Amino acid sequence: MTITLYGIPNCDTVKRARQWLDAAGLAYQFHDFKKAGVPDAELQRWLAELGWEKVINRNGTSWRKLDEAQKAAVVDAPSAAAIAHEQPSVIKRPVVQWADGRLSIGFNEALFDAHR
């Protein structure tokens, strides 16, 4: 199994994560939400293992751009999945599936070091 990094290419956090992986010499696949969409099976796993509250970035610009009715409708994993498919940019980035199958979300060097 290889490392898969999910996100959008113009996200600064995704850029930092990709730079870290490159500098560490770790091979990975990049899954672009904008071009390839959000894979449903993986999204369901993220929601189950990480929790919808962690997967949906309610502090980001994309969330703030949603209307109040859309925000209020996100109350559980199924509603989080619906908004994530409709607006992939609300997913906290990056989501990484490591070579050993573990998942992480977001980026900081300590987190990535722990998964190396």
CATH code of the domain in which 93 resides = 3.40.30.10
Q: Which of 3, 11, 50, 103 is labelled catalytic? A: 11
What's the length of the chain?
116
User: How many domains does the chain fold into?
Assistant: 1
Mean pLDDT of the chain: 96
User: Residue 31 pairs with which residues in a beta bridge?
Assistant: 6
**pTM for this entry:** 0.93
Q: What is the mean predicted confidence (pLDDT) over 5-17?
A: 96
pLDDT of residue 116: 79
Q: What is the mean predicted confidence (pLDDT) over 85-113?
A: 96
> Could you give the C-alpha distances from 66 to 7, 22, 28, 57, 59, in angstroms and in order?
19, 34, 32, 12, 12
pLDDT of residue 115: 87
pLDDT of residue 1: 74
- 11 as an active site residue: the answer is yes
Dist CA 64 CA 46 (whole Å): 22
Q: What is the mean predicted confidence (pLDDT) over 6-23?
A: 96
Q: What is the mean predicted confidence (pLDDT) over 38-67?
A: 96
CB-based contact 98:115 (threshold 8 Å):
yes
45-48: list long-range contacts, CB under 8 Å, 24+ apart. 45/103, 46/95, 46/103, 46/105, 47/77, 47/80, 47/81, 48/77
Range of the domain at 70: 3-115
pLDDT of residue 92: 97
